[in-house]
């Protein structure tokens, strides 16, 4: 869905620096809203449910001005669409928007025509801070910047096939004891340079405990703890210049 309209003024306020810019010559303003979903398909192939994964908003507009290196150097902004002195236009604020494009076009005297594009993750009324992200720590050390956990259970079952009786005898986990829970963790980490990334990952692997410790999964102020976990392995995957994914394997006795 794309909305196109005119507005009197636009004010940009940086979240990360003390920078504010008010623009009074805007035109070709567009707000593009998209949402990605995951559909649940029944056994007969008919969709039975649909879950929203992500809302995404892009904002773009043009204006005439000098080239603004302060704006180009910025990262995230709050965008205020303001009405004019006579009340024309609309009034709305979009917080936490990332500047994704700054392009100069036609020039006239000392001014150039500039087109900027911003991207916003989340609903239109979501706050200016970054969305809450899940984190996992082992023995007090965080695994990357963000992480999520996938558990797998394996029971201790012994089966014996009895050919003459045409059957099978099972000795279950409750009889044999034990039971193993495997905990797979995928984490993401980003640094400013490739060198910092390599140093961080190497130091992280060296600092993780090799004895039984607790995993703590956090989401904002909510958390839960998994005790007596043992680290099996850790490795880099999806390796980029200064960003990577980390994969960890932990185990613990279920019973």
> pLDDT tens for residues 223-254?
999 999 999 999 998 777 889 999 999 999 98
Residue 175 inside a domain? The answer is yes
Same domain, 78 and 15: yes
Same domain flag for 28 and 117: yes
Highest mean pLDDT among 6-20, 98-112, 125-139, 191-205 belongs to 191-205
Higher pLDDT, 216 or 179: 216
Domain boundary among 121, 156, 185: 121
Q: What is the pLDDT of residue 4?
A: 55
Q: Based on the domain organization, do 104 and 153 belong to the same domain?
A: no
Distance in angstroms (rounded) separating the CA atoms of residues 223 and 232? 23
Question: Under 8 Å CB-to-CB from 204, ≥6 apart: which residues?
Answer: 141, 143, 234, 246
Q: How confident is the model at residue 255 (pLDDT cuts 50, 70, 90)?
A: confident
pTM, whole model, 2 decimals? 0.70
Which ranges of the chain does DSSP label H, i.e. alpha helix? 69-73, 173-176, 194-207
Instruction: pLDDT band for 26, please (50, 70, 90 cuts).
Output: confident
**In the β-sheet with 9-14, what is the strand arrangement from edge to edge?**
2-5, 27-41, 47-65, 111-121, 92-108, 76-82, 9-14, 20-23
Q: Domain for residue 209, yes or no?
A: yes
Specify if 128 maps to a domain: no
Say yes or no: 240 and 215 in one domain.
Answer: yes
Q: Which of 89, 121, 153 is the last residue of a domain?
A: 121
Say if residue 11's pLDDT is above 70. Answer: yes
What end-to-end distance do the CA atoms of the chain give, in Å?
A: 52
Span 101-127, mean pLDDT? 80
| 180 and 117 co-located in one domain | no
Same-domain check for residues 89 and 167: no
- Does a structural domain hold residue 129? no
Asked if 143 and 199 sit in the same domain, the reply is yes
Range of the domain at 53: 2-121
Number of domains making up the chain: 2
My answer on whether 109 and 149 are in the same domain is no
Q: Do 151 and 108 share a domain, yes or no?
A: no
Q: Are residues 68 and 172 in the same domain?
A: no
- In the predicted structure, residue 30 carries a pLDDT above the cut 80: yes
Tell me what the pLDDT averaged over the chain comes to. 85
Q: What is the pLDDT of residue 9?
A: 82
Percent of the chain at pLDDT exceeding 90: 34
Sorting pLDDT into bands at 50, 70 and 90, what band is 1?
A: low
4 versus 180: the higher-pLDDT residue is: 180
Residue 126 in any domain: the answer is no
Say whether both 184 and 82 belong to one domain: no
Task: Give the pLDDT confidence score for residue 189 in this predicted structure.
Answer: 93
What are φ and ψ of residue 149, in 5° steps?
-120, 140
* φ/ψ (deg, to 5) at 152: -135, 135
Q: Return the pLDDT at 234.
A: 94
Is residue 22 predicted with pLDDT exceeding 80?
yes
Q: How many residues does the chain have?
A: 255
- Comparison of pLDDT for 161 and 211, the residue scoring more: 211
Q: Which of 67, 86, 121 is the last residue of a domain?
A: 121
Per-residue pLDDT of 40-99, as tens digits, reads 888 888 888 888 888 888 999 888 888 888 888 778 899 988 876 665 667 788 888 899
138 has pLDDT over 70 = yes
54 is a domain residue = yes
The CATH number of residue 219's host domain is 2.40.30.200
Decide if 40 contacts 76 (C-beta within 8 A). no
The verdict on 145 and 100 lying in the same domain is no
Q: pLDDT tens, 171-198?
A: 888 888 888 999 999 999 999 889 999 9
Task: Please report, for residues 25, 84, 204, 226, 227, the alpha-carbon distance to residue 252 in angstroms, rounded to integers and kept in the order given.
Answer: 62, 63, 21, 9, 8
Is 188 a member of any domain?
yes
The pLDDT value recorded for residue 127 is 66
Looking at the domain assignment, is residue 127 inside a domain? no
């Amino acid at each position: 869905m794309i909305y196109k309209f005119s507005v009197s003024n636009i004010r940009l306020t940086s979240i990360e620096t003390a920078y504010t810019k008010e623009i009074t010559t805007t035109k070709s303003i567009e707000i593009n809203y998209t949402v990605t979903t995951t559909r649940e398909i029944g056994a007969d192939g008919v969709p039975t449910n649909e879950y929203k994964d992500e809302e995404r908003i892009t904002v773009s507009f043009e204006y005439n001005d000098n080239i603004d290196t302060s704006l180009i150097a910025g990262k995230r902004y709050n965008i205020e669409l303001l009405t004019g002195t006579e009340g024309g236009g609309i009034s709305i604020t979009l917080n936490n928007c990332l500047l994704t494009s700054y392009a100069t076009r036609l020039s006239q005297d000392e001014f150039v025509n500039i087109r900027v594009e911003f991207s916003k993750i989340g609903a239109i009324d979501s706050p200016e801070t970054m969305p809450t992200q899940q984190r996992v720590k082992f023995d007090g050390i965080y695994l990357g910047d963000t992480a999520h956990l996938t558990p797998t259970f394996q029971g201790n079952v012994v089966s014996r096939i009895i050919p003459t009786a045409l059957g099978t005898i099972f000795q279950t986990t409750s009889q044999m004891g034990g039971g193993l829970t495997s905990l797979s963790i995928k984490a993401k980490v980003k640094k400013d340079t490739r060198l910092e990334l390599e140093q961080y990952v190497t130091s992280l692997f060296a600092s993780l405990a090799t004895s039984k410790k607790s995993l703590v999964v956090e989401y904002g102020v909510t958390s839960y703890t998994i005790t007596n976990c043992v680290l099996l392995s850790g490795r880099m995957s999806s390796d980029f210049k200064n960003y990577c994914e980390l994969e960890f394997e932990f185990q613990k006795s279920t019973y």
